[in-house]
Structure 1
Amino acid sequence: MQLHGPEVRRKAIDLLRSGVSNAEVARRLKVPLGTVSYWLHVDRSKRGECPGRPNPKCPRCDGRALDEPAYAYLLGLYLGDGHIIQYSQHRVPSLMIACGNVWPGLMDACQAAMQAVFPDNSVCRVRSTGCQNVKVYSKHLWCLFPQHGPGYKHERPIVLEPWQQRIVDAHPWEFIRGLVHSDGCRIINWTTRLVAGERKRYEYVRYFFTNKSDDIRKLYSDTLDKVGVEWKVTRRGRDPFNISVARKASVALMDAHIGPKH
């Protein structure tokens, strides 16, 4: 491979800046056309003149407006079924939210929220067994999801930053909906009652949220308290990982704002 010294590169840049074409510079200096094109790209990049779409802005770094309701929902999804990863072959990390194939409406809502939060980035879906991962690449994922870290979420502290808590306080139902859509469900329970000497079947709606992280469950229950939803902890064996909403008035509130997944 032929190496070209800084003097040759400087002459090429001077010619390119004066308006000489890439091909003519390559001919005059006996440098491959691809090398000249690369030098031109680097020079333009240093001067902020690269053609094409500008780098996406970040609400935290650049003050870009943030769609807060969409972010509150996406934050709930992330705390449940999301993760951020950066492979060695990629320069930019990716956020992936796993959405079951049985819930196409949830998949659409997740993609819409992700696109609203990252309007300058492309959102895609990656098929996997029984689900699709809704995915976006952004170098600002760490800024918007500071809860990211090594290992499982239930093995490390999960605490909202003050600016995140402000958004959740302003849009609690969107946050609750994201958590329920990730690690929750709406089911119909049944029991029997003795009525006038006859045992009859009685059905009632119940919401469940299940997560191993004490911190994430507390974020969910604290937000339920703020919107007036009564809840209780139910155990599966010895593990108190389930939060149940079963009282009629509270279920009505959840149905009005959340409803069943679809």
Structure 2
Amino acid sequence: MYDLDTRHAALLLIASGRSVNSVSRETGISRWALRQWRTHGIEPVSAGAQPLRTDGPAYPYLLGLYLGDGCISAHRRGVYVLRIACADSWPGLADACEKAIREVRPGGAVCRVRQQGCAQITSTSKQWPVVFPQHGPGKKHERTIALEPWQQEIVGAHPWEFVKGLIDSDGCRITNWTERTVAGVRKRYEYPRYFFTNTSADIRRLFTDTLDSLGVAWTETRRRGGAYNVSVARRASVAEMDRHVGPKS
């Protein structure tokens, strides 16, 4: 049984870019234990409790939701509360968020706290800051937001789930239109596009880097108030987004 300081120090070595094998050789900790801590967190799990799971597609989706509309706050006795705001305009979003939390936090309670115009989907665990190390004081756009190497590995395995989580939180699919005169006849043309808006340059970069890895073309424009829009408008790229992401429900 390793104490928390030993576990944390080992994960810091892995987060610095070291391989599991090299950290295991240096510390004497088994590779199995290192992988378990990296995937499920370093908090010892009490009898009957289940660790948080980050090894499936639900985690990168929930990560996207958290980066967009989520926060983590201290509760009591080392317990933290994850809160993700889901607007009433898309009732299916709250269901999808709750489903993802239940898959990441198997056996844990998930609650909905009603607020004006939205529902806060909440869940408690000692491990939320471990599986979401982007947690910290202050607003996300006022501090550095970067993925740990183990998170990047998971996003690389499930990139569309991460993109969908970001779109479902701070994005949308809309239909633009224009009119043109063709052979003397005025015709209306409609074309869909996706937008992602976030004031954090780091979070926008995580979004666009993932789009780049998927071959999805995008452009970025500044909006009033300092926020930026990332737009996906090319027909082939929109078709890929429709295939894997789709509009919020």
Q: Which residue of 2 aligns with 1:71?
A: 59
Q: Is the 8 A contact 2:219 2:232 kept in 1?
A: yes
CA distance 1:197–1:178, shift in 2 (3 Å): same
Q: Which runs of 5+ in 2 are unaligned?
A: 1-38, 46-50
CA distance in 2, matches of 1:238, 1:125: 31
Of residues 91, 95, 106 in structure 2, which corresponds to 1:104?
91
The aligned runs of 1:21-170 (5 Å cut-off) are 59-61=40-42, 66-87=54-75, 91-170=78-157
Q: Find the residue that maps to 1:260 and give its secondary structure.
A: coil
What is the Cα deviation at residue 101 of structure 1?
A: 1.3
- Relative contact order (C-alpha < 8 Å, sep 6+): which is higher? 2
CA distance 1:102–1:237, shift in 2 (3 Å): closer
Q: Is the 8 A contact 1:84 1:93 kept in 2?
A: yes
Q: Find the residue that maps to 2:40 and give its secondary structure.
A: coil
What is the Cα deviation at residue 196 of structure 1?
A: 1.3
Q: Which amino acid aligns with 1:70?
A: A
Q: Report the TM-score when normalising by structure 1.
A: 0.74
Q: Which residue of 1 aligns with 2:31?
A: none
Larger Rg: 1
Q: Is the 8 A contact 2:54 2:131 kept in 1?
A: no
The aligned runs of 1:178-189 (5 Å cut-off) are 178-189=165-176
Percent identity between matched residues is 60
Q: Is the 8 A contact 2:55 2:154 kept in 1?
A: no
What is the Cα deviation at residue 137 of structure 1?
A: 0.4
Q: Find the residue that maps to 1:105 and give its secondary structure.
A: helix
Match status 1:202 vs 2:195: no
* Post-superposition CA distance 1:189-244 (Å, at most 9, x none): 11122211333221110100000000000000010111111100122248461000
For the aligned residue pairs, the C-alpha RMSD in angstroms reads 1.8
Moved more, 121-130 or 197-206: 197-206
Q: Find the residue that maps to 1:233 and give its secondary structure.
A: strand
Q: Which amino acid aligns with 2:181?
A: L
Q: Is the 8 A contact 2:198 2:227 kept in 1?
A: no
Q: Is the 8 A contact 2:92 2:248 kept in 1?
A: yes
Q: Is the 8 A contact 2:85 2:120 kept in 1?
A: yes
Q: Is the 8 A contact 1:97 1:134 kept in 2?
A: yes
